[in-house]
Structure 1
Amino acid sequence: MLGLLSEDVIWRVLRYLDVKSRIRLGAVSTAFHKLLNKWEDVLCCSIRLHGITLSGESFVIEVEGQHTVNRYKMVLVPLLKRCPMIRKLAIHDERVLRNVDNVSLLRDLVNVDELHISSNFFAESTHDSLVDLLSSFPKLHLLHVKQRYNEDKCCRNIVREYQMEQLASTSLNNIKLQGVVVTGSVLKLLCSKYRKTLERLCLMGALIPSYEAYACFQAINGLDRLIYLTLAPSLYSVSTTNKTFFKSYPSLKDSQRLKLVAAYISRPDVSQLKLLLQQILPANVEKLLLYDESYRSAYQIEGEPKEFKCKLPEWYCVLSELMETALMSEDSSELDECSCTDHSKNSLSCMPNLMQQLAATEK
């Protein structure tokens, strides 16, 4: 009966199978093996220390392993070889790729255009080979280096200039650097390399030397298409201490396409907020997000004359909760949200059987 159906129709039915069923059915006959040898409907992959999430347009598949990391790694390479069309790749723990044949792992993933990696990839020089491989995706347009929620910022996580030079993509338009040390020379290199393409730059959560603020602002000002910018506290924060910290204020006046800016308020000071609006931000900014745990700045703004309020951007907000939550709620494209484990209906804890079946079908 299946012979009456085209391969396209059969594939539309089989694409909803979970990992275990796909592997088993692929071993039944040559026809099924041909159909199921490559899973071209898998577009997103999230790799954790003890599990993998694969997802497509209308499904989420979970592969969870309660076994040793080494046994888990044995299934990782053959599994990803079956998914050449992955576009969004997230690697949440650098330990997953230790002692893995990284060339075999990533060689076939030529279509990745969104990459999310842990900030701990930049912790040791021994990870350089991993960073080099992860920088080799030619179609990459989004790069997010992210800090795990349960870890403190670490000054040993250092983004180095030569690592950014090796980025193969020529059209990155979205960069987030979180939980890592970013020097002025690194930021200058990124802004120069992606001057004509970079639209979103998130430095919230990055460790940037305050004495390099001028070099950083100068680099940011050189971006032709920047519309979204979040500033690290060391670059700028609304504070009473700014008067002594800066002799003259770095400016973003040259960023004529800038629409959204987010900054910290370390010590509420309306006079410094006025300075931010008058001397630092360009007139075209439409949205201003201020992170103030005390929320005192909101009350100070309310007490100001109407003339000052009219000078505020059309949309501004004072936040007292996590800045990252508010920023990403508007138009999130985070892979780990797209492939949330709570949405999975196919959760497997059969790692030994899965490894055997993968090995058998590879032969």
Structure 2
Amino acid sequence: MKLNGGNKKLLVGESHGMLSDETIAEIFEQLAPKERARFSVINKHLYNLLHPWSDINRITAHKVGIVLASDRYILEVHNTTGKTDVNKLTSALHNSPFIQKLVISSTDHIRTISATAFDCLSNLRELTLPCDIFDKQSNLHDKIKAIFSIKRLLVLRILKRFDTPRKAMNIMRAEHVEYLQANAIKMLKLQGVSLTGAAMEKISNKYSNSLKYLCLMGVLVHTPDGAIYLKALCNLKCLCKVTLPPSLLSLSSKPLYQECRMLQKLTAKYLCVYVYESEIVEIRYFMKKLMPLTLRELCLHDPTHMVASDLKSDEFRKLHFKVTFCKRTDSLYQQEWMHGHCELLSHMVWVQPYKHFNTEYPHP
């Protein structure tokens, strides 16, 4: 049996009786998953000592394999052509009940994983999934229900893959929010999905007293229902940081100032919005009249560069908040929790054209 990344062999059958439990555990942490499985079944004592894998606290499942990480080691398992590959993630989750961060970047993993694999993840705090799980054609209804049953979740990210187009039929409905069993989600990041008004209301009611960070810049909403989304946002009592979807502030339905007056009721200290050239006049009014008193920073995605010139005038120098600017390409990937395997975009802006599917959307 070889140590992960090494050439020396460990004669377990002859020497394990001479080693302390601490030394055995130290050696075990350096073994690849396949060797771990072989090592732990040598006898009952080793199985009880080494099972489950208490050192693994992060798992990333990407298109060509799985990465298991502890505070000291990173173990990679690459896919082969064998039939056993479909069960690798299920096996890893069953053996690693103490993981705190889980990234699944492909629906192929979700489609083949056992629904019971999520039952033991009582310590999971951060979960990242691909937005295609909400595609009706994916037929992952039962898997979503199983995944969302994790009760101690604090961070939920639904992100778009780098190699898939945006699809308005990736619809997050009210029933999906109902499946969430977590009591106190603090951060929710959605992109590449259509968020119904009913789903936004459910999020607001369910996490009114816990949600602090809400990123919707990469979401498509139903513009005529703008008042529903804004009212739901105002119901989030702990909200500190929020990014708004461009489709929410679109002028295709009603004048911006009629519905967006509700923004004054937000408790957020940080707000990020996208600026269209056709909205420059409204954005000026937006900045001077509609910002909440709690706001400390307004971040603008402004490809027009017209707002920046406006800020030089005297009327904008007395704003009670700082104005910053960012580009759509400022931050594409978030490396830390991906372990170098970045298949999901951490930054997306869902800009025009907006193509709603009126026959099925936005009904909950």
Shorter-chain TM-score bucket reads 0.7 to 0.9
Give the match for residue 15 of structure 1. 29
SS in 2 for 1:248: helix
Give the match for residue 62 of structure 1. 76
SS in 2 for 1:253: helix
SS in 1 for 2:161: coil
Give the match for residue 340 of structure 2. 340
Q: Higher relative contact order at CA 8 Å, sep ≥6: structure 1 or structure 2?
A: 1
Change (3 A) 1:56 1:66: same
Aligned AA (2:158): V
SS in 2 for 1:234: helix
Report the TM-score, using the length of structure 1 for normalisation.
0.81
Aligned AA (1:51): G
Change (3 A) 1:181 1:334: farther
Q: Superposition pairs for residues 27-106 of structure 1, below 5 Å?
A: 27-67=41-81, 70-103=83-116, 105-106=117-118
Change (3 A) 1:333 1:317: same
Q: Find out whether 1:109 has 2:111 as its counterpart.
A: no
Gap regions ≥5 residues in structure 2: 1-14, 343-364
Give the match for residue 254 of structure 1. 265
Q: Superposition pairs for residues 143-162 of structure 1, below 5 Å?
A: 143-162=156-175
Q: How many matched pairs?
A: 326
**TM-superposition CA deviations, 1:178-203 (whole Å, max 9, x none):** 11111111101110111011111111
Give the drift of 1:333: 9.1
In the aligned structure 2, how far is the partner of 1:323 from the partner of 1:222?
A: 30
SS in 1 for 2:247: coil
Change (3 A) 1:279 1:196: same
Change (3 A) 1:333 1:137: farther
Q: Find out whether 1:313 has 2:321 as its counterpart.
A: yes
In the aligned structure 2, how far is the partner of 1:246 from the partner of 1:230?
A: 17
Name whichever of 1-10 and 193-202 sits farther off: 1-10
Q: Superposition pairs for residues 284-295 of structure 1, below 5 Å?
A: 284-295=294-305
In the aligned structure 2, how far is the partner of 1:97 from the partner of 1:185?
A: 26
Gap regions ≥5 residues in structure 1: 343-363
Change (3 A) 1:2 1:216: same
Give the drift of 1:30: 4.1
Change (3 A) 1:89 1:224: same
Aligned AA (2:122): V
- State the superposition RMSD in angstroms: 2.6
Aligned AA (1:273): I
- Quick one: which of 322, 328, 331 aligns to 2:329? 322
Give the drift of 1:29: 4.5
Change (3 A) 1:321 1:112: same
Q: Find out whether 1:227 has 2:240 as its counterpart.
A: yes
Give the match for residue 354 of structure 1. none
Report the TM-score, using the length of structure 2 for normalisation.
0.81
Contact 1:147 1:178 in 2 (8 A): yes
Contact 2:223 2:252 in 1 (8 A): no
